[in-house]
Amino acid sequence: MTYFKSFIVGLSIFILAACNHKTTTYNIIDYGAKGDSLTINTGFIQKAIDVCFKEGGGTVFIENGIYISGTILLKDNVTLHVSEGAKLVGSSNPQDYQSIDTFVDATGQERGNCLIGATDASNIGITGKGIIDGNGKAFLHKNIQQKIKKLNIDKKEQKKFGTNRPFLLRFVRSSAISLKNVNLRQPAAWTCHFYQSKNIKVDSISIYSHAHHNNDGIDLDSSHDVIITNSHIDTGDDAICIKATSPLPTHHVKVSDCKLKSDWGALKFGTESMGDFYAISIKDCEIYDTKGGGIKLLSVDGANIYDIEIDNIKMNKVDMPIFIRLGERLRTYRNAKKQPVGSIKNVHIKNITATTQDIENSRVSSPSGIFITGTPNHKIGSVFLENISMTLPGSEENLELTDVEEQETAYPEFSFFKTLPAYGMYGRHIDTLRFSKINFELKAADIREKAVFEDVNVLLGVDK
């Protein structure tokens, strides 16, 4: 073969390879998107995702600008990358959103709308150091009323207009999900909801969620095989919430090296608790400036909570550092059958340091450190506490103590029980409570006992 023929053959192979090469990166600008903070880019972004999916998957890029959008849906093998310097912002018009797997939450509100969603998808992700902002303030009542007037919404539609406040991210029955580095901001409802999903990895994300009500950070709902690490979450509602709005369990969850702040609960199991919670490990986390509880384990809708390990948690300025409640509310969701009363057993909490809120900032007039309670007919099984140190403010003057109500069927919130008879630990209706190396320090005098136990079958403690 001559040199010329060899060159032609080589060139032909190169051209053929180039023609067969599939691109794996897709920029939304190439599909019509404009980062001018004005254009509604829903269709353009969705087209980029759809093409990426049809061509076998890859990464859809959002770069340089402010892109307004309604609901976009991820599909198999597609990663959405929001680059540093880019911002994806939710539309202020409720008509720009879709509801996926609509349900009614514990507050009685219809939910399902979202800015970014996925249903029955696999191998999907959201990455990048950019910002995804839900524009949650647009869904405040006063702003919705202005939108109704501006859009001349029909009177029949006005009552429901904007009531299905959109989540920021929502994954339904999906798997192999990755969230990395991205900054999630200001949704109108929950920030990130995983429902009946699995194989989830959340790493180094940032959440700030204070634009509206029910502003949870990460909700793991009947989901399993989850790792959450190296993330900073600051929320108006629960920061990390283990829940089950279906009878399917949430299990095999690992949370580590996270920094959490909340106005309701930093690490919370429940209140939606139809399915079981088990094989869950939470360690090496910091909780700060939290107006609700630090660690809250709540089974009130039938969940069996077991094999839980919480280790090395540092708390500063936190209401009620540890609250464990087995109750009999038995609420149902999604037309599921009512569950029998659940159980709590084999819970290990160790290596905890905590400073509570001062009295003037506490939701309870004189705060306590640990509150563990079942009900007269349904005792908590076994709880193990080890190496726990708490600093508390002491009681107010002229403190009047009353009997602690049972509230078996009520919403499980520690502040509803008012002031407890012990400043350190109050436990009742427990089968086995074992503790060692528990220390409570007071900044001022407290007329209450350090610890009070009622209806505890086996109490094994060394208070040092």
For residue 370, give Cα distances in angstroms to 14, 220, 421.
Answer: 70, 25, 12
3-class SS at 360?
A: helix
Rounded to an integer, what distance in angstroms lies between the CA atom of residue 316 and that of residue 30?
A: 49
Q: Round to whole Å and give the CA distance between 141 and 251.
A: 37
CA–CA distance, 83 with 24 (Å, rounded to integer): 16
Please determine, for residue 21, whether its predicted confidence score (pLDDT) is greater than 60: no
Mean of the pLDDT values across residues 179-208? 98
Q: What is the pLDDT of residues 149-167, one digit of tens each?
A: 999 999 889 989 999 999 9
Confidence of residue 11 (pLDDT cuts 50, 70, 90): very low
Q: Are strands 98-104 and 110-119 parallel, antiparallel or unpaired?
A: antiparallel
| Length reported for the chain | 464
pLDDT digits (tens, 9 = 90+) for 86-126: 999 999 999 999 999 999 887 788 899 999 999 999 999 99
Buried b (16+ CB within 10 A) or exposed e, 61-82: bbbebbbbbbbbbbbbbbbbbb
**pLDDT of res. 395:** 86
DSSP 276: -
Q: What is the pLDDT of residue 23?
A: 65
Q: Mean pLDDT over all residues of the chain?
A: 93
- Say whether pLDDT at 5 is over 50: no
pLDDT of residue 92: 97
323 close to 300: Cβ distance less than 8 angstroms? no
pLDDT of 106: 74
Q: What are residue 255's phi and psi, to 5 degrees?
A: -120, 130
A 10 A CB-CB count for 311 gives: 17
The two tokens of residue 67 are: 């892109």
pLDDT of residue 25: 97
pLDDT digits (tens, 9 = 90+) for 346-369: 999 999 999 999 988 898 888 999
Tell me how crowded residue 391 is: count the other CB atoms within 10 A of its CB: 15
Model pLDDT, residue 379: 98
Q: Which residue has 């429940």 as its token pair?
A: 270
For residues 383 and 461, the answer to whether their CB atoms sit within 8 Å is no
pLDDT score recorded for residue 399: 75
Residue 292 has what pLDDT?
A: 87
Report cis status (omega within 30 of 0) of the bond before 409. Answer: no
Query: What are the tens digits of pLDDT across the range 232-277?
Result: 999 999 999 999 999 999 999 999 999 999 999 999 999 999 999 9
